[in-house]
Amino acid sequence: MFSLNKRNIRVAISPFCNLSCIYCDGPKSRKPNKPGAMEDFRRKPLKQGAISTDMFIKIIEALHLARFDGMTLTGGEPLLNPEWDLIVNKAKEIGMSRIGVTTNGTLLNTYLQKKGHLPKGLTLLTISLDTFDADRLKAITRRGKFEEVMKGLSEAKKDNPKLKIRANKVLLRSDMESLLDYIEFCEKSGVIDEINLLNLILKDQQSKRFFEEEFISASEVLDFFSKHTKYKFSIDNKYEFNTKLSSDLRIILKDTNLTLRNNQCINCPIYCQEGFYTVRVATDGNITACPDHKAELSSIDGVAELKRGTLFNKVNQLVKTFETAEPKETLDDFFVKNNIKLRKGN
């Protein structure tokens, strides 16, 4: 079920965010500079609060020993952590072969002006860029400045032309009319190599109405592409479709329906894209096999286990749960259970 070459960790290195995206509705992220990492929303934070860079690095090292080979830094906004670049380079020294950062891009240009270069170890820069329309970007993020983000991307590409740049776009029904223009914009941008289309995740019950209005399933998006384009999508792993256009732009379409869920997921109030594929490290060092872990099941206190010298064994136990995980609930079951009535077909 869980192949070795796909073992990734996602490390939330900043509990703060400088934006407040409409779909990212953890209770605290709506206020600027209040803790808002996805990994922290749904459970009691551990006592120690956000951990030090040194501790992040020790945890990354332990996870690498447990054969996790890829790492993405996230948050909150990871570039709000002034040592994000140090963490990237240490991860490279440790031996991580894929190292990414997922950022809203608003601080990238300032970073490059100050430091001159991106950290050498970085192999993937993912920018959350929902639209190429500056007003719409502001409406979605409440503060994001399109020009600043694009400037950051072009400076990043100049600094390292080989760096893969991926644009994350959350699929919203109200944006479908402009989806093909968005793809064309990315093709012509000269900086974007991949588009990652993400299914909207229901983040909490308060946003249910928004979800019902805006969710659009991957199968409906595939139908849309087959009606309006010649793109041919295929699945080359367990949880996403993808295609490469003649311009070499790759489009990834994540499908929540393909998420690997197991018993632990049954009481979870969201239906995510990753399920058990990715291990998450929260800003306080809590480690789970889940992006939005509500129950405390299978969660590891990374700092305490490091001190006890038992982190490696604990992580290995956690990994064993992947190997026996099986999908236990479909997206349709989830809609029924949560009384979700989508606005259109899906």
Ligand X SMILES: C[S@@+](CC[C@H](N)C(=O)[O-])C[C@H]1O[C@@H](n2cnc3c(N)ncnc32)[C@H](O)[C@@H]1O
Note the residues at the interface with ligand X (CB under 6 A): 17, 23-24, 38, 74-75, 77, 102-104, 128, 168, 170, 198, 200-201, 203
Alpha-carbon separation of residue 4 from 238, 258, 260 (angstroms): 13, 18, 15
Phi, psi of 8 (to 5 degrees): -125, 150
* Three-state SS at 169: strand
- CB nearer ligand X, residue 11 or residue 318: 11
Q: Which of 82, 83, 117, 85 is nearest to 101 (CA)?
A: 85
CA atoms of 298 and 81, how far apart (whole Å):
27
- CB nearer ligand X, residue 13 or residue 319: 13
258-261 CB contacts, 8 Å cutoff, 24+ apart: 259/327, 260/1, 260/2, 260/322, 260/325, 260/326, 260/327, 261/325, 261/327, 261/328, 261/329
CA atoms of 250 and 240, how far apart (whole Å):
12
* Three-state SS at 7: coil
Nearest distance in Å: CB 26, ligand X: 8
- CB nearer ligand X, residue 20 or residue 262: 20
Nearest distance in Å: CB 32, ligand X: 12
Nearest distance in Å: CB 125, ligand X: 10
Nearest distance in Å: CB 94, ligand X: 22
Nearest distance in Å: CB 140, ligand X: 9
Which is it for strands 286-288 and 8-14: parallel, antiparallel or unpaired?
unpaired
- CB nearer ligand X, residue 72 or residue 262: 72
Nearest distance in Å: CB 37, ligand X: 7
- CB nearer ligand X, residue 271 or residue 276: 271
- CB nearer ligand X, residue 215 or residue 306: 215
Phi, psi of 287 (to 5 degrees): -115, 125
In terms of residues, how long is the chain? 346
